[in-house]
Structure 1
């Protein structure tokens, strides 16, 4: 059916807009400035609410990468509110995760911890084990920013175990990278290098992941090598990381590597090369609007200028670093800039100014320490909730394991019962068969014969034939009971082959050398023909194969029911006919007249 109200132009715009947002999200790490441009372009359009929220999510992430944290927080908060109202848990989880990173950059670690706790809870609700592990990994990064190194190590190692348990190699590689950073902060440089190398070893063999995560691991390994005085290796690793980041056009990462190369060159007293790298890093950070990074690059450049005796240039550069840090609310970087200024003024002989900046450094450091202390206290409750969640997870996993074990045991028990039931059924069937079967000949016995008669419909016409082996006692006496038993088995085979049994018919051994045939709906003529065929077949059977000189015949008496006679009457009539056959010379058939 055609929708006459559909607007092809609107549909085309909608498809184009969705494609644009998809592209903005895909390039958010490598090209954050382009992500911001595309997201802002999308927001100029008349977007439906879900797409508008997606655009704000893309914009917030791009602003995060560009260091515009306050603006990023505004966009992400709006997007989060909309996704929450819409009940879109998946987008709420993604937005919350990005918001948590922004809060961490803004120096709001307690808020970041609360956000990542919500991310973890959402991941559990959505059944996203990878999302849950990533949230725990992010909690570790927040603890690093707070100086809570035991908490960071615990979070990283816990998330690392989970990623290994669920064979999530990409997540495991990212966690090992973060663990390398944490070891670096703890000055455990050998451990930092080992964790970075482990990250390289477990990284998935996919091009996108190798380039991004492996480049981070190379850079982390290079930093550890620098501290371990493995300078040539540090240079090589940084150059490998730089090549990958440049290929990805990840300017923030490229700037960070340039800054690291500048510090490495300065350490090796290659001052001109060091200045070149510092200025390259600063230029890139200015291009992408990373204020925090700019302050760091300018402080490093100022330190180099001070080392080269360029005191005034150093003071100007470090003052600019301090101002930039203030604009970006990077209090830690501002604190470091004040300390650098105190040292620069001291070298310039301007002790009063140096003392003032040293005092500002100490005041800010105390302020940061007190804030960190308050944050650590506030984070205790969140840490308690995280530990409680982990205990609940452990308890749930243990319960799940116990239930699986119980299910396995129940399944095994069920299988055993099924086997036992099958064996019991087979045994019962075997017992029933044995109860209704003559053990020697394999024919039905007297019990089976009686059961067959009971199943007959009342008034049905029945024929009973009784056969008795002639002179069977002489066979036993002359040839042995073993030969007699074989004669009985052979007779059973001859009779079975001579009678075409139909539904309701039965051939049975009555006992001794006597056999009985029950037939339904058979008239006298047919009965006599069948009996004669059986007699003749017995007489002509190759008895010499059983014992040379052996000859066996059979006498048969038969009776067809008349006027609803019962079995007893028909059996008696057949027995009388058999007696007559025996009396008249045996090896003959007599049918009741």
Structure 2
């Protein structure tokens, strides 16, 4: 009984854990509740479930209650995951820890944690975890205003996200990459990346990201002097953030609207937007935003001649600037850590090369398939499946040159269905199509691999054969005539009878493809005038 209960509990834990993960992107409060439920269900010796549940608890706590509360939980999850050598959970725990340290301003410690995450992820070659770790590293460099270095890691994050199957992560990496491209004033490239992000956006789940895309598009329009479009984008972004209660997003949008209004020589509107942004930014103490808002306010008051207010905001701007410098100085990444990162990157480049090789092989296989399908569509008759007139016109001259070089022989046999118009008139065009399709199946079974059966036009076909003499070619043509005549056509339509006439010609040295087919056509004409349902071959010299 105990074993049955244990199995049942384990299954329950797995179901709860799956449900908790599904809530991560839409309802962290529900995720936290489910993670705590999983902790209650997990058995003491089920360390894997305990580690998983603890990690999810830490991730939810980081968002709901902040880094200080979440860090001990995430470190516990890391310890549990290490005990059972669950490398993906180890890597994910390190990423959670790094995110928490980053939000506390402990950038050097966060950098090391991301490095540990990369090394753990390499044990299982997890593309998604590579992307998350590189995303975190890129954002660290953004906070240090080292945008060129940030660009490197954010581009890597996008590459690994694309290799994963996580659509949400693909969108997220593009959002962060576009923000850095904006900082580097690479506006056309930023716009293109934003379009990619828009195509990956999961709505309505990621309305905050939709607002972020509108905000970045607004900033691009501002820089390009497109004020009306900029205003529309920024207002749409702000409206989404207000409706959803996203205060950080509102602050960013209000700052953008303030800058735009000042540029449009609307100082009062600019002051209104920027004061609202300042009130919001004071709530969550984002130093970068506060610095930027105070700087913009100092510019506006200076332009209005209010030197006292301008000086107050300039002092506040300088204070925040100095705070950022102190954080930057205390979080410098050491040379030894950089070398460690380079070693990790070297290994990941090898994995990336292997991934690229596999992707190229897959693309090559897909391309070959597309080319074959294209060739089939271009060179084959859609009704009967045999070669079409285009294939005959292109290939026959080559076959003649080859025959001449090898001093071999080649024959063309024209095939025409007798009284085919009557078949269409008496039994319908649909039956006529079925006759052509079925007859071509029968004729194809009588040809060799190197022979070429092509539809010449309408109900007329041509067979090109080589490396056989006229007597054998005559036997092939006669056998084709008999097979068509003897086929049980009543299975297609009661009362249906089908026969063919055939005319052949042997290629003569120096003769063109057109001349060869013309002589075969004359032989076919002779077969028609001989009562149809027969075979005639052109004599050397041109007559049948």
When the two structures are superposed, what TM-score results if normalisation uses the length of structure 2?
0.51
Equivalent of 2:325 in 353, 363, 369: 369
> What's 1:384 paired with?
339
Do the aligned partners of residues 55 and 224 (structure 1) sit closer, same or farther apart at CA in structure 2, a change above 3 Å counting?
farther
CA deviation map 1:395-419 (0-9, x unaligned): 67779999xxxxxxxxxxxxxxxxx
CA drift of 1:392 comes to 4.0
Q: Superposition pairs for residues 467-478 of structure 1, below 5 Å?
A: none
CA contact (8 A) 2:212 2:249 kept: no
Residue 383 of structure 2 corresponds to none
**TM-aligned CA deviation for residue 372 of structure 1:** 0.8
Q: What's the counterpart of residue 5 of structure 1? A: 2
Contact 1:235 / 1:264 at 8 angstroms: preserved in 2? no
User: How far did 1:180 drift?
Assistant: 0.3
Query: What residue number does 2:73 align with?
Result: 75
Aligned residues: 352
Matched, 1:184 2:190: no
- Counterpart residue number, 2:113: 115
Rg bigger for which structure?
1
Do the aligned partners of residues 214 and 62 (structure 1) sit closer, same or farther apart at CA in structure 2, a change above 3 Å counting?
same
TM-score w.r.t. structure 1 length? 0.47
d(CA) in 2 for partners of 1:32 and 1:170? 16
State which of 9, 18, 25 in structure 1 corresponds to 2:21.
Answer: 25
Contact 1:172/1:199, CA 8 A, preserved across alignment: yes
Per-residue CA deviations over 1:361-416 (Å, capped at 9, x if unaligned) read: 5345224214313423x2443333222322344467779999xxxxxxxxxxxxxx
Contact 1:218 1:237 in 2 (8 A): yes
The offset of 1:196, in angstroms, is 0.9
Check 1:223–1:80 CA distance in 2 against 1; reply closer, same or farther (3 A cut): farther
User: Structure 1 residues 133 and 306, CA, compared in 2 at 3 Å: closer, same or farther?
Assistant: closer
Q: Distance in 2 between matches of 1:212 and 1:354?
A: 33
1:125, distance to aligned residue in structure 2 (A): 0.9
Q: Once the 2 structures are TM-superposed, how far is the Cα of residue 130 of structure 1 from its aligned partner?
A: 3.8
Segment drifting more, 360-369 vs 11-20: 11-20
Do structure 1's residue 93 and structure 2's residue 91 form an aligned pair?
Answer: yes
- Give 2:271's aligned residue: 307
Q: Any stretches of 5+ residues in structure 1 without a counterpart?
A: 271-302, 403-593
Retained in 1: the 8 A contact 2:219–2:256? no
Corresponding residue number in structure 1 for 2:150: 152
In the superposition, relative to structure 1, how do residues 52 and 164 fare at CA in structure 2: closer, same or farther (>3 Å)? closer
Q: Deviations over 1:238-281 (max 9, x none)?
A: 687789999xx9x57x54554455456656769xxxxxxxxxxx
Which residue is equivalent to 2:509? none
Cα separation, partners in 2 of 1:231 and 1:63, compared to 1, 3 Å:
farther
Map 1:192-203; keep pairs closer than 5 Å: 192-200=190-198, 203=200
Supply the distance in 1 between the matched residues of 2:281 and 2:168 (Cα, whole angstroms): 37
Distance 1:358 1:40, change over 3 A: farther
What residue is the counterpart of 1:221 in the other structure? 217
Q: Equivalents in 1 of 2:273, 2:3: separation in Å?
A: 73
- The alpha carbon displacement at 1:113 in A equals 1.6
Write the distance in 1 (CA, Å) between the matches of 2:233 and 2:260: 16
For 1:153 and 1:5, locate their aligned partners in 2 and report how far apart those are by CA, in whole Å: 55
Distance 1:72 1:231, change over 3 A: farther
Please give the root-mean-square deviation of Cα atoms over the aligned residues, in Å.
5.0
Look up the match of 2:173.
175
Distance, in Å, in 1 between the alignment partners of 2:300 and 2:194 is: 36
Equivalent in the alignment of 1:288: none
Contact 1:318 1:341 (8 Å CA) reproduced: no
Deviation, structure 1 residue 58: 2.1
Q: Give the distance between the partners of 2:320 and 2:247, measured in 1 at CA.
A: 27
Using the alignment, how far apart are the partners of 1:113 and 1:200 within structure 2? Answer: 29
Q: Does 1:139 align with 2:103?
A: no
Are residues 245 and 371 of structure 1, via their aligned partners in 2, closer, same or farther at CA, if it must alter by over 3 Å? Answer: closer
**What are structure 2's unaligned runs of at least 5 residues?**
358-544
Q: Distance in 1 between matches of 2:223 and 2:239?
A: 22
The Cα shift of 1:56 comes to 3.0
Partner of 1:107, secondary structure, is coil
